[in-house]
Amino acid sequence: MSALRHGRFRVALRRLYRSEVPEARRFRYALLGLDLLSIGWIILASFLPLTGTVLAIDVGLGLVLLAEFVARLSASARPWRSLVQPLELADLLGILSLLLAPLLHGALGFLRVLRTLRLLHSVRLIASLRSDLPFFRRNEEATLAAAQLTVFIFVMTGLVFETQHRGNPEINNYADALYFTVTALTTTGFGDITLQGQVGRLLTVVIMLAGVTLFLRLAQTLFRPNKVRFDCPGCGLQRHEPDSVHCKACGTLLNIPDEGS
């Protein structure tokens, strides 16, 4: 009986994480809110002294995220295979850094920035956004490019802060780290804040090189002619003009959904 109950529980979880019914979409939007809340707390905590209250919030948030992590694995058809995926391991390390904060006194705090990687890989949420929001559907590539750049800035800012704030007097909180990240990413380099040590120099190089690449990709999507994604049933071409009736590659009749006039 317990095995049957466990099986039904996994089916219910799988429905929430993978189906397209309205309650499942609302559930995934709530998960996005939880991810944003956890990132917001990580940023806010950098401005606060390491008190018992801060550590208690770390642990409480870590328990909530751990429960969601276990539920996500349970919803997978192959939980153990999912567990060893790089993104899942990164998420688990970020959660453990919150749970173990009282024991380590924030020594592994830099690991918590790995949680931001979750924002890039919610495929089901992207599908929900595509169907729920006309603006996202019309500007999907530009929106995703902007999201990737934003997540990169968050990750790099977290790494700069966690690797520098203990020994670099110029990096005291996330605002300082964000300021340096943006100036390095745009190659402006005012020079009033610099990173110390070989790790700091290498991190600066990564920010500049990867940042320029992401900026170019965002610019490319912004200035590229606006097209919609729709798989042609004949040849598989995915990008078409919004008012296309036939596929320009093979001539197959298309039926691209729109909002009407």
CB-count exposure of residue 74 (10 Å: 0-12, 13-18, 19+): middle
Reported as a single tens digit per residue, the pLDDT across 45-54 is 877 887 888 8
Judgement on whether residues 178 and 237 belong to the same structural domain of the protein: no
Tokens of 186: 């745009």
Phi, psi of 254 (to 5 degrees): -105, 160
Residues 11 and 102 in one domain: yes
Three-class SS state of 246: strand
Among the ranges given (6-10, 12-16, 38-42), the one the predictor scored with the smallest mean pLDDT: 6-10
- For residue range 25-52, what is the model confidence (pLDDT) as tens digits? 888 888 888 888 888 887 788 778 878 8
88 and 151: one domain? no
Domain closes at, from 116, 133, 150: 133
Query: Over the stretch 102-150, which tens digit does the pLDDT of each residue have?
Result: 777 655 565 666 666 666 555 556 666 666 777 776 677 777 777 778 8
Report pLDDT for 63: 92
The answer on 210 and 121 residing in a single domain is no
Domain count along the chain? 3
Residues forming a β-bridge with 240: 228
Question: What is the predicted pLDDT for the residue at 261?
Answer: 43
For residue 35 the two structure tokens come to: 């991810």
Average pLDDT in the chain: 78
Whether residues 145 and 169 fall in one domain: yes
List all residues 6 or more positions away from 51 whose beta carbon is below 8 Å from its beta carbon: none
Question: DSSP label at 76?
Answer: S
The reply to whether 153 and 219 lie within a common domain is: yes
For the ranges 31-35, 141-145, 158-162, 168-172, the maximum mean pLDDT occurs at 168-172
Q: Do 31 and 74 fall into the same domain?
A: yes
Last residue of a domain, one of 133, 159, 191: 133
Over residues 76-90, the mean pLDDT reads 81
| pLDDT average, residue stretch 197-206 | 86
Show the domain range for 166: 139-224
Residues 114, 216, single domain; the answer is no
- Beta bridge partners of residue 229, listed in sequence order: 239
What would the mean pLDDT of 71-81 be, rounded to a whole number?
A: 84
Please check whether residues 219 and 231 belong to one and the same domain.
no
Q: How many CB atoms lie within 10 A of CB 257?
A: 9
| pTM (global) more than 0.85 | no
Neighbours of 7 (CB within 10 A): 10
Best-predicted range by mean pLDDT (4-13, 173-182, 190-199, 241-250): 173-182
Task: Please list, in sequence order, all residues whose beta carbon lies within 8 angstroms of the beta carbon of residue 75, skipping any fewer than 6 positions away.
Answer: 10, 13, 14, 16, 17, 18
| Degrees to nearest 5, angle at CA 229 with 244 and 130 | 120
